[in-house]
Homo-oligomer: A and B are copies of this chain.
Amino acid sequence: MSKRERVRIKDIADKLGISSATVSRALNPKTESLIGKDQIKRVREMAQKLGYIPNIGAASLRTQVTNTIGVVIPDILNPIFPPMIKGIQSYLSSKGYVTIFVASNNNQDEALEEVRRLIMRNVDGLIIASAFLEDESVNECISQNVPLVLVNRSIRKGELVHQVLSDEQHGIDLAVNHLLSLGHKHLVYLSGPNTILQSLRRREAFEGFCLQRNIAFDIVDYDQDDTYAFSVEAGRDAAEKYLRSGCAATGWIAANDLMALGAIEACRKVNLRIPEDISICGFNNMPLTDIVNPSITTISVPFQEIGVQAAKMLLQEINAPWPSKQRLLMSPHLVVRQSTAAANGSKR
């Protein structure tokens, strides 16, 4: 294998006619004082000439620190995750850490297997973006005492973990108020799965606001496999189900932007116009929602910043653990675009 051909300490020693131990000491700032200055200089020059790169495996075994962070995401093709990953990775990289990303595909067994593999590799900590309300992979980290931050989604027993989340309740409040201000009297929420906190919180917030303010509302509950969670297909199916049931609401909120895109497709198929007949509000402000047709009114969640904060919280926990678990809520904001308009508008 080509690996054997990599430049090793022994190659430097052979070239200089000295022992490997001397080379090793000369290259380690903690032991170089044992070696003469001339010798150190000769060793360093030869190391550079041969292109020697140290292998940190041995050091990491000694110190039990690998400067490696594992990150579990559901599916990189869901456009909310690339910005979150960018935030996590750019922060960790600036602090000298590398990031191992693994995918759960919204499947608990896959998540658990990947988390175990990451722990076997002795990662210094984990960021999990794929948590379900009851989640074996999170439990595994807790029982193994691995420093952990949940991001984007959390577990039911949130007091057991550090978490960086979007303020879902505030986001739904913004969406509901936007549709009410446009004169919509009857609202519907196309829900994501209730096994995911983020999704459940949005659903509960919607129901709560409508009940509290006496607004006519419907909820289309999610009845698919978790692997379809938050997908275009899930939105299309939910919208078709609602349209078949009579469809009283003119103001729609989808659990996320991908579901909003699916709902728009479903409306078009039955010749309902967006926003003339139906206003649809998404959630997340994922990339390109500004240039789809129609562009999507949505709740903008600061995913990149959420990623940065999760990485920051994790490194803090690794270096000086908090006595109790932290919970950081990041505020979303409303972005108004073409997919929502006044109810019974002039265009109708």
CB within 8 Å of B: which residues of A? 1-7, 51, 53-58, 60-61, 64-66, 68, 75-77, 79, 81-83, 85-86, 89-90, 93, 98-103, 114, 116-122, 124, 140, 143-147, 261, 287-288, 291-295, 317-319, 321
Per the bound structure, the CA–CA distance linking A99 and B186 in Å amounts to 48
Per the bound structure, the CA–CA distance linking A288 and B147 in Å amounts to 37
Per the bound structure, the CA–CA distance linking A319 and B99 in Å amounts to 25
What residue in chain B is nearest A51 (Cβ atoms)? B143
Interface of chain A, helix or strand or loop or mixed?
mixed
Partner of A3, one of B89, B143, B145, B261: B145
Assess whether B56 is in contact with A58, with CB atoms less than 8 Å apart. no
What residue in chain B is nearest A75 (Cβ atoms)? B86
Assess whether A2 is in contact with B291, with CB atoms less than 8 Å apart. no
Given contacts A64-B3, A293-B293, contact A101 B101 (CB under 8 A): yes
What residue in chain B is nearest A93 (Cβ atoms)? B102
With most chain B CB atoms within 10 A of its CB, the pick from A4, A57, A117, A317 is A57
Given contacts A100-B99, A117-B98, A288-B288, contact A321 B1 (CB under 8 A): yes
Partner of A61, one of B57, B118, B291, B293: B57
For the complex formed, measure the closest distance between the CB of A279 and the CB atoms of chain B, giving whole angstroms: 18
Assess whether B76 is in contact with A82, with CB atoms less than 8 Å apart. yes
What residue in chain B is nearest A320 (Cβ atoms)? B1
Per the bound structure, the CA–CA distance linking A122 and B90 in Å amounts to 21
Which chain B residues border A83 with CB–CB below 8 Å? 77
What residue in chain B is nearest A117 (Cβ atoms)? B98
Partner of A144, one of B51, B65, B77, B85: B51
Assess whether A292 is in contact with B288, with CB atoms less than 8 Å apart. yes
For the complex formed, measure the closest distance between the CB of A303 and the CB atoms of chain B, giving whole angstroms: 11
For the complex formed, measure the closest distance between the CB of A145 and the CB atoms of chain B, giving whole angstroms: 4
Q: Can you show 12 pairs from A to B with CB atoms below 8 A apart?
A: A1-B321, A3-B145, A5-B145, A6-B144, A6-B145, A51-B140, A55-B122, A68-B100, A76-B82, A79-B82, A99-B101, A261-B291
